Amino acid sequence: MTDQAAEVARLRALCPGAELLQDGNSPVVFLPSLKVWSGGVQHTVDALLSPRGHHTYETRLFFSVRLPPGLNWQMYTLLARTWHAVSWRGISAAQPWLDILASHLEVVK
């Protein structure tokens, strides 16, 4: 099993439909029907984890919709779909992908 396959396997414990895709030369993980707590409510959204950077960010987490916190949301088109992401830095790509996801989810909690 490759390192990336092992990382996705760990993510499947949280999101069984997790699927490794490519955005150009970068791996991204599609997380369908991910359960996310935001604004005191649980939401079910599709998400896209970019564990190896996107633009000038070391890691990113994109959502299919904007979530309740009044954060600095921006829109992106990735894999022929519109995604929303919070402008948030400082989540290191040097950690396991599950930890990267957890760190990004804390931001929208």
Res 55: pLDDT: 72
Q: Encode pLDDT of 77-106 as tens digits.
A: 988 899 999 888 889 999 999 999 999 999
3 DSSP β-pair partners: none
Q: What is the pLDDT of residue 56?
A: 81
Edge-to-edge strand order for the sheet containing 19-23? Answer: 19-23, 26-38, 41-50, 60-63, 81-86, 73-78
Relative to beta strand 73-78, strand 41-50 is unpaired
Per domain, the residue ranges of the chain are 3-108
Lowest-confidence region among 14-23, 26-35, 52-61, 82-91: 52-61
User: What digits encode the pLDDT tens for the residues 44-74?
Assistant: 999 999 998 767 889 999 999 999 877 789 9
Please give the pLDDT value at position 15. 95
Count the neighbouring beta carbons within 10 Å of the beta carbon of residue 85.
24
